[in-house]
Amino acid sequence: MESQGTQGTQGGITVQRALELPGLRGGLPEVVAGAERLQRTVRWVHAGEVPNIASLLKGGELLLTTGLGLGARPAEQRVFVRKLAERGIAALVVELGPRFARLPAAIVETARAAGLPLVQLHREVPFVTVTEEVHTEIVNGHYALLQRAEEVHRRCTEALLGGGGIPQVLNVLADFSKNPVFLETADGQLLYAAGAGTECADPLQVWEGLRGHHKDGPPASALLVDVPGGGPGSGSVRARLVLLAVESALLPVHRIAAERAAGSLAVVLMQARQEEELAARGRGDFLTDLAEGRILADDAPAQARVLGFKPGESPLLPVVMRLADGLPPGGGWAVLARAVAEELAAVGVPVLLGVRPVEGRVPLLLGLRSESERTAVADRVAAALRAGVERAGMQRAGALPPVVVVGVAGGWAAASAGLRHAAETATAAQGLVDRPWYDARRLDIDLLLWRLHNYDDSALAAFVDRAIGPLRAHDLRAKPPLLPTLQTYLAHAGRKAETARELHLNRQTLYNRLARISELLGTDLDDPQTVLALSLALRARRHVA
C-alpha cells in the first residue's frame, strides 16, 4: 500500500505534496502552524478574498488567499480562521504582500489551537498556476485510485472465471485491504469470513468480538457495501460486504474496490443456493483450520458459536466423509450441505457441518451426550451422509463409494487431532472394502502405507512384488486364483476351518492351495513375520500398479 505522503492513496494529494509542486514551491512556503497535519488530503483548491468564504467551502480544500478577507481586528481574524477549521479545509495558504508583511499572531495562534495547517508564502505566485498544478495532481490521483480498484476487480473476475468462487473474491479483497472481510446476510448473519494472511488476526475471532461489542451492527469505522439482489433496479439487498479496519486504515480506494467486487458477488449469488454453499464452505474452512492447528483449542468454542455450533460441555465426535476423485469444485455442494443437514436433523445432537470442495471432503463435529453413544451416532451420521450424497446426485456411476471415517470422541484438543487424522485416513481408505463407516483407529496401517506410497511409490511397489509377486503372476495365467485364498486365510488369522467355510472349500482342497502358495512364495505361512509381511503386501497392492 502507498504511504499517505504520496499521491493517489485516497484519490487526492496531501498538503505536503501540494507544497512540493513548482507553483507553491516558487512562493518559498513556510509552515507556521499545523506542521504535524501536512498529510491531510487536499480534495480541491479554492482561491478567495471574501470574509464569509468558509460558507462557500465543503471541506478538504486548499484555500489560497492574500488575506484581504481576514479582517483587520484580531477578533475578526480568529473567527475567520476558526470557521475555516470547523468547515474542515485541508490547509490555509496566505501570500504575504500589501495586506500582511507577516501573519498576525491572532491568526497563527488560532490555527495552532484548531490544528489547521497554516502556510505563508514569502514570494508572489500566480494562483491560477497553483490551481492548475494541484488539480492535475488530484485528477491523476483519482485515475491512479481507479486503476488500483480496477486491478482488484480484474483479479476478482479472473478468480471467478478460473473456477473459483466467492471465497476467492473475498480473499482478494482481504489481501488488498490488509484487513478481514466478511460477507453477511441482509439481516446480519455471517456467511463467510476471509482473513488477510497468516500474520493477521483470525477473522472469526474478529467477528466474535465485533458481535459481542456491537450487537446492532458493525462499528462506525467499518466499511459496508451492499450486494444487490432481485435484479437491476429492484433496490433489494441480498447480502452485505463488511471490511473492518483491524490491521490498517480503510481508504476510499478500498470502498471502490469493494463496490466493484459487490457487483460480481451479486451475479454469483443469483445462482441457486449460493448462500448455503458459502456458509457450508465457511464452516468447512473453520473445521480445516482447527484440524491443521491454525485455531487453538482454547479459541475454538467462541469461534464455533459464531457459526451456530453450541455443544456445551459435551464430548465432540469428529467425522470426515471423502468423496470420489474427479468431482467438479462447483458441483452440487450446496445441495449436498442442505441434504445432509436435513438428514442429520433426526440424529438429535448438535452438528457443525462443512464442505471442502477442492479436497472433496465433508468434515463434521457432533456433540454427544456421552461417549458411550459414539457407535450409535456414527451409524446414523454415516447413513445421513450417504443419503445426502444420493440426494445431491454426487455419486457418479462406476465411481468409488464415499468413505466415512469416525474419530475418537473428546474435547476440543482431541477434536482437532481427530479431524486431522480422520481426513488423512479417509483419503487412505479409498478403495478398501466398502463399509458404512470406518473407525479411524483401525486404519493406521492403511494410513502408513498410503503415506509410503506418496513418499516413495517405487519402494512400496518393490515390497509388494517381493512379497506376493509370484502369486500375482500365477493368478494372471492359471486358475484357480490363489490371492483370494491367501487374503481370506490371513483375515481369519490362519484358522483353516473358518477359511474353508468362507471359501466353500473342503479342507483338503484348502490344504493343497495353501501348500501351493507356500511353494510359490518360498515361505512358511505359520511364521509370524511372514504373515505380517504378506498382510501388509495385500493391503498395499491397491496403491501400486
pLDDT tens digit string along 507-545?
999 999 999 999 999 889 988 898 998 988 888 888 776
Q: Which three cell numbers stand for residue 214?
A: 456491537
Q: What is the pLDDT of residue 227?
A: 86
Is residue 426 within 8 Å of 419, Cβ to Cβ?
no
Backbone angle region of 197, left / alpha / beta, with phi > 0 → left and psi within -120 to 50 → alpha: left
Query: What single-letter DSSP state applies at residue 7?
Result: T
When pLDDT is averaged across residues 1-30 and rounded to a whole number, the result is 71
Higher pLDDT residue, 57 or 275? 57
List every span in the chain annotated with CATH 3.30.70: 278-438
CA distance 14 to 62: 10
Q: Which three cell numbers stand for residue 17?
A: 505534496
When pLDDT is averaged across residues 340-353 and rounded to a whole number, the result is 83
- For domain 456-543, the question of CATH label 3.40.50.2020 is answered with no
Taking 50 as the threshold, does the pLDDT of residue 7 lie above it?
Answer: no
Order of all β-strands in the sheet with 351-353: 351-353, 361-367, 316-322, 403-406, 438-439
CA distance 507 to 437: 34
Write the CATH number of the domain with boundaries 278-438.
3.30.70
List every span in the chain annotated with CATH 3.40.1390.20: 13-138
CA distance 41 to 137: 12
List, in order, residues 6 or more apart from 204 with CB less than 8 Å away: 193, 286, 295, 303, 306, 307
Is residue 269 within 8 Å of 161, Cβ to Cβ?
no
Of 81-90, 216-225, 297-306, which range is least confident?
216-225
Taking 60 as the threshold, does the pLDDT of residue 232 lie above it?
Answer: no
Q: What is the pLDDT of residue 168?
A: 82
Q: What is the pLDDT of residue 392?
A: 79
Taking 50 as the threshold, does the pLDDT of residue 429 lie above it?
Answer: yes
Q: What is the pLDDT of residue 216?
A: 57
Neighbours of 15 (CB within 10 A): 23
Q: Which three cell numbers stand for residue 320?
A: 470426515
CA distance 157 to 313: 44
Query: What single-letter DSSP state applies at residue 373?
Result: G
Of 79-93, 192-206, 293-307, 524-538, which range is least confident?
192-206
Q: What is the pLDDT of residue 209?
A: 65
When pLDDT is averaged across residues 86-103 and rounded to a whole number, the result is 91
Backbone angles phi, psi at 112, to 5 degrees: -65, -45
Q: What is the pLDDT of residue 445?
A: 87
pLDDT per position as a tens digit, 394-421? 777 667 889 999 999 999 999 999 999 9
438-460 per-residue burial string, b: 16 or more CB within 10 A, e: under 16:
bbbeebeebbebbeebeeeeeeb
pLDDT per position as a tens digit, 279-305? 888 899 999 999 999 888 988 998 888
CA distance 222 to 250: 8
Query: Which fold does the domain 13-138 belong to in CATH?
Result: 3.40.1390
Of 41-50, 74-83, 258-267, 316-325, which range is least confident?
258-267
CA distance 22 to 40: 19
pLDDT per position as a tens digit, 328-346? 555 578 788 888 888 788 7
Q: What is the pLDDT of residue 9?
A: 43
Taking 80 as the threshold, does the pLDDT of residue 10 lie above it?
Answer: no
pTM more than 0.85: no
Of 191-195, 331-335, 376-380, which range is least confident?
331-335
Taking 70 as the threshold, does the pLDDT of residue 234 lie above it?
Answer: no
Confidence bin at 4 (pLDDT 50/70/90): very low
Q: What is the domain class of 165-270 according to CATH?
A: alpha beta
* Helix, strand, or coil (residue 229): strand
Taking 70 as the threshold, does the pLDDT of residue 64 lie above it?
Answer: yes
Taking 90 as the threshold, does the pLDDT of residue 446 lie above it?
Answer: no
- Mean pLDDT over each residue of the chain, to the nearest integer: 84
What does each C-alpha distance from 21 to 7, 13, 130, 247 come to in angstroms?
12, 11, 8, 32
When pLDDT is averaged across residues 206-212 and rounded to a whole number, the result is 63
Is residue 430 within 8 Å of 397, Cβ to Cβ?
no
List every span in the chain annotated with CATH 3.30.450.40: 165-270
